[in-house]
Amino acid sequence: MSDVHPVLIAGEWRAAASSGTFRGENPASGEALPDVFPISAWSDCDAALDAAVEAAEALRTTAPETIARFLTRFAERLEVRASELVDAAHVETGLARKPRLADVELPRTTGQLRQGAAAAIEGSWSLPTIDTKLGIRSMLAPIGPVWVFGPNNFPFAFNSVSGGDFVAAIASGNPVIAKANSSHPNTTRLLGEEAFAALRESELHPSTVQLLYRTSHDDGARAVADPRTGATGYTGSRGAGLTLKAAADAAGKPIYLELSSVNPVVILPGAIAERGDALAGELVGSCLMGTGQFCTNPSLVVLFESEQTEGFLESIRQRLDATPPTPLLSRAVARSLGASVAELRRAGAEVVTGGSAIEGPGFHHANTLLRVSGRQFLAEPHALQTEAFGNVSLAVVVRGADEALAVLTHLEGNLTGCIYSDTRGADDAVYARLEAPLRQRVGRLLNDKMPTGVAVSPAMNHGGPYPSTGHPGFTAVGIPASLRRFAALHSYDNVRAARLPALLRDANPGGRAWRLVDGQWTRADVPTNGA
């Protein structure tokens, strides 16, 4: 089996202890791809965990500058290899080379790596807190080896070996064991090669980054619950995520999940009256972005019954019909999308346009709009929130504000929620009624803007109430907040000055980190008599 790609464990590319192999598939053509990847047996996980424990220990005394050098070198290397990376991702995901992969996702990925580098050096992410009167000091500190399970839909920006969780875990001082998404193993391999090269150049511990391509489900659950594991970041389907969550929870291991979300968008009557045509274009653009395979895709649109709404729906239909469907990410996504549409239809959704898969080659589904009345939604609110991951959206047409309110109070937790209203105040009274129930059910509330863009901002929340994530207090995107997921709170009580971590000593190293000193945020040193 010399043609099976090796895995990256303990600082070397080595043959996997393999229980089988798999190959990627080109979703645009349906053809199997030539590269063969191993399914690792438990002994690979076990070896990676041992090596990660060593790396975690080394990282505790590694200067943040070294971590930052690695992240920066990694970003630079990705830019050098951009065209090969874009080609590989295009073949494995069907996503467009340009603008999506080359001009949007890769720059976002290298931007995240550089932001992570800056955050590691600056140090404020760890919320250093100093109580000079009581002699107690605290900060967030690395939690230990982090497993990252990446999703299928962002081969660079959320990749287990280069994406948001990876950056957050490394920048906060932890080693990562990456589990590739099985739908783009070759892209992940190329990213892993660059990570490995950057590790050597920066002289970070060689086991800081490790990569497995695939494991059994049982081994995945065992890995996140292993005593050597610090925490886990997972982005993907609800079913697999909840299995991992159950295992991690039972072992008391933090796990941060990004699961499913239908991202309700409420478009109030005044907004349609004012700018319906522009909104139809905006909505369709957002719905079809990445063939609808965004975590924040607007899959549930609440509209108010009226003639204007019928015109709005017709405008959406025309735009969907006029746009050639782009490929879905994989055979599995196509299968799951078909099942979701069937479930939505069973629960009463009618097809406005599309509604079925398109014959091969490759995996395509017609751009689809479904609709259901508010009353019918309220009769089957659970089924009608089935996530249809792909280019399918459901319009819920309600009879008025009361019914809209009822629909919103039946929503599960979501990543985002959005309300469009007119600019002259005609919708303000309805907005005021709908805002609170929606606010409580989403991580990010938007006005007059589609949810698909997820800016890397300190104020971003790419998170939300269960079941969109596992805990509503954390965000997967946004630096420095996303780093805090991979940390334990360390308090130092009466610890002698020379034994404190650098960030908690009186002198603020480099004066870079914001520290909460006796209730005041400051970058200044603590006066020596204050200690």
Residues with active-site annotation: 258, 295
- Site for a copy of itself (CB under 8 A): which residue of 15, 278, 429, 489? 489
Cα 239 from chain centroid (whole Å): 16
- Number of Cβ within 10 Å of residue 250's Cβ equals 10
**Count, residues near a copy of itself per rule CB under 8 A:** 71
Residue closer to a copy of itself by CB (options 20, 473) is: 473
Residues forming a β-bridge with 266: 302, 419
Site for a copy of itself, residues 43 to 72, rule: CB under 8 A = 57, 60
Per the listing, tokens 């010399």 go with 2
Residue closer to a copy of itself by CB (options 24, 233) is: 233
Q: Shortest approach of a copy of itself to residue 487 CB, angstroms?
A: 6
Q: Does 116 bind a copy of itself (CB under 8 A)?
A: no
20 CB-side CA count, 13 A: 5
Please check whether residue 163 is in contact with residue 109, taking contact to mean a CB–CB distance below 8 angstroms.
yes
- Site for a copy of itself (CB under 8 A): which residue of 35, 54, 76, 131? 131
Q: Shortest approach of a copy of itself to residue 399 CB, angstroms?
A: 24
Please check whether residue 515 is in contact with residue 130, taking contact to mean a CB–CB distance below 8 angstroms.
yes
Q: Does 483 bind a copy of itself (CB under 8 A)?
A: no
What CA–CA distances, in Å, run from 193 to 56, 200, 331, 424?
21, 11, 27, 55
Residue closer to a copy of itself by CB (options 159, 172) is: 172
Site for a copy of itself, residues 207 to 246, rule: CB under 8 A = 245-246
Q: Does 531 bind a copy of itself (CB under 8 A)?
A: no
Helix or strand holding residue 33 (H, E): strand 32-40
Q: Does 467 bind a copy of itself (CB under 8 A)?
A: yes
Stretch that binds a copy of itself, among 34-42, 192-200, 382-390, 489-497 (CB under 8 A): 489-497
Backbone angles phi, psi at 106, to 5 degrees: -65, -45
Q: Does 350 bind a copy of itself (CB under 8 A)?
A: no
Please check whether residue 73 is in contact with residue 196, taking contact to mean a CB–CB distance below 8 angstroms.
no
Q: Does 249 bind a copy of itself (CB under 8 A)?
A: yes
Residue closer to a copy of itself by CB (options 85, 121) is: 121
**Structure-token pair, residue 368:** 């689809």
> What is the SS3 assignment for 300?
strand
Backbone angles phi, psi at 398, to 5 degrees: -100, 160
- Site for a copy of itself (CB under 8 A): which residue of 35, 193, 448, 525? 448
Stretch that binds a copy of itself, among 23-31, 44-52, 375-383, 454-462 (CB under 8 A): 454-462
Site for a copy of itself, residues 387 to 446, rule: CB under 8 A = 413, 416, 431, 435-436, 439-440, 443-446
Q: What is the DSSP string of 49-65?
A: HHHHHHHHHHHTTS-HH
